[in-house]
A and B are shown apart, each in its own frame.
Chain A
Amino acid sequence: MANILIVAEHDGQTLNASIAKCVSCAGGFGGAPIDILVLAASGEAVAREAAALQGVNKVLLAERAENDKPLAAILAPQVAELAGGYTHVLGPSTTFGKDLLPRVAALLGVNQVSDIMEVLGEHRFKRPIYAGSAILTVSVDPGNKVVATVRSASYQPCDTGGEASIESVAIDCDLPDHSRYVELQAQTTDRPDLQTAARVVAGGRALASAENFKLVFDFADCIGAGVGASRAAVDAGYVPNDTQVGQTGKIIAPDVYFAFGISGAIQHLTGIKDAGVIVAVNKDAEAPIFEVSDIGLVGDLFEVIPQLQAKLGG
């Protein structure tokens, strides 16, 4: 019988939204017990949040000063140490999980499954490859531990209201001192988080400047949306890196996604495949974005956005 350990991502205060989706994914293993591991300097609040996720068996809280910041080299040996008692170790396919889980897998001497999008059995999974151009079915040797990341956009968050127990654990292992956290350069914003927002407004190279991007931000604020961008827009410095959507950015699944002046390169499209409705506005009727959009409008975004805002924002 399988038993599953999920490594929690958090910022010291709150549990990352991807963890509730990992629990949903783990729910596909036929009722196997699901434990969540919180590695933190002081993680009471995070552990309580994890314990409230429906379907969780127990939360393990490993507090240690070194766990203050999420350095993979520090966390991985602790996860590997605890993994002994589990058949499956899962984490989210966020940058946190992608950094950490392969290091854990290597310490356990196994390959890792990236981006589980569907659980077909305890050891069989579907995952996207080639920027989502193909779906690969993989099977892990039944004798091996499964170490995997979960593609968040493929799962809904599990319900809350659970009352799992919280257990403090002391993980006894040496930690390296060769890696140090310096700082996080983040722009604080009141906008909905791109990865959980129900509505996302995104702009591409066509915006042509950081000033013009204000158009996108204003419309987003007006309809309570998160803001996304193409790689071209980020590379050009119009918007920060954490807005990039796509193969090498964020994979998102909002109810509605607005793409303004984005051509629709495969690397971008892979990030929005799971959106409910894709709206595309592009002045080129031949733009590939129209092959995937649900509602398309050929037009100039500089004219369309203000009109749209006037009609939807009021």
Chain B
Amino acid sequence: MLTGISGPRWYNARVPDQRTDPHSGPCKPKANKRMQKILVGIKRVIDYNVRVRVKPDGSGIVTDGVKMSINPFDEIALEEALRIKERGDAGEVVVVSIGADAAQQQLRTALAMGADRAIMVKEDAEVSPMTAANVFLKLIDKESADLVILGKQAIDDDNIQTGQMLAALWQRPQATFASKLELADGKAKVTREIDGGLEVIEVDLPAVITADLRLNEPRYVKLPDIMKAKRKPLDVTSLQELGVEPLGGITQEAFALPEGRSKGIMVDDVDGLVAALKDRGLF
């Protein structure tokens, strides 16, 4: 149904395709509108290459002197938003981070990648997925956003929740774990990576999309872009200023190391391997 996107751009097709949407006539401009704005979530997390350590007293994770980066899935989300804009299907890409002020650094990187504007929502306490979702909801309203692309998962808390919660609060569709996104006629056709394979769904816009690893390969930031990014607007606000009440309800009591596996053995050859397997009653 949406396979015709290689033809005229979905927003400026002058003659609406009667076959795809019997309700869209020339006086129904909604379906062919170019999107104004895409919001993208940018979470600051410990770099995925860092070996994470637990504080000896179990009160948290060691972050002092540890390399911080944009959550990898958020880079993918941003890359997708930039490609949509560069195709001419959206006007502006706005990146948002909620949390410690230090995340301005990641927002600057996002601006250097190509985002137009950044919003830093300061909050020193732990930001729960529901709080983050409520912030995005507020910003959708303020910014009149048409599409929100988040990462499927923040690799620190591994919650995998924010996009779904936002979609529920916004009463709009969600397309999570996206590995392919096609926009046409005010709809998104999304291929999702699920346990059983690849699932394709179609949702009306506006909607929330969450990016999986294979959606795209994010671009590298070039030096001149870093300089240019310094002049791009970065607004700083706070939960309070936005009028968002933090929503807790789950207390993080203690952090511990996982149980290690007992030390294994090395064998010299395939015979040794077979013997070791048989030893353990596995074959």
Contacts and interface: CB of A to CB of B under 8 A. Distances in A.
Interface of A: 11, 71-73, 76, 94-96, 98-100, 102-107, 109-115, 124, 128-141, 144, 176, 178-187, 195, 223, 231, 234-235, 240-242, 247-248, 250, 255-256, 266-267, 273, 276-279, 281, 290, 292-299, 304, 307-308, 311-312
B197 A241 contact: yes
A129 B250 contact: no
Nearest to B212: A248
B80 interface: no
Q: Is the interface of B mostly helix, strand, loop or mixed?
A: mixed
Nearest to B171: A176
B86 interface: no
B19 interface: no
B124 to A, nearest CB: 18
B247 A111 contact: yes
Nearest to B133: A106
Contacts of B133: 106
18 contacts: A94-B195, A98-B176, A99-B164, A102-B165, A106-B164, A106-B166, A106-B168, A114-B159, A178-B172, A180-B202, A235-B214, A241-B214, A242-B193, A248-B213, A290-B266, A294-B261, A296-B266, A311-B274
B177 interface: yes
Nearest to A110: B249
A102 B201 CA distance: 19
B277 A138 contact: no
A105 B165 contact: yes
A254 to B, nearest CB: 10
For chain B, give the interface size range. Answer: 35 or more
Contacts of B194: 95-96, 99, 242
B169 interface: yes
B178 to A, nearest CB: 11
A277 B267 CA distance: 14
Interface of B: 1, 46, 48, 51-52, 54, 61, 128-130, 133, 152-153, 155-169, 171-174, 176-177, 179, 189, 191-204, 207, 212-214, 247-258, 261-262, 264-274, 276-277, 280, 282-283
Given A134-B61, A137-B253, A296 B159 contact: no
Given A180-B202, A182-B202, A134 B164 contact: no
Contacts of A105: 130, 161, 165
B165 A185 contact: no
B158 A115 contact: yes
The 9 closest A-B pairs by CB, nearest first: A186-B197, A106-B168, A102-B164, A102-B161, A106-B165, A182-B200, A294-B264, A133-B52, A95-B194
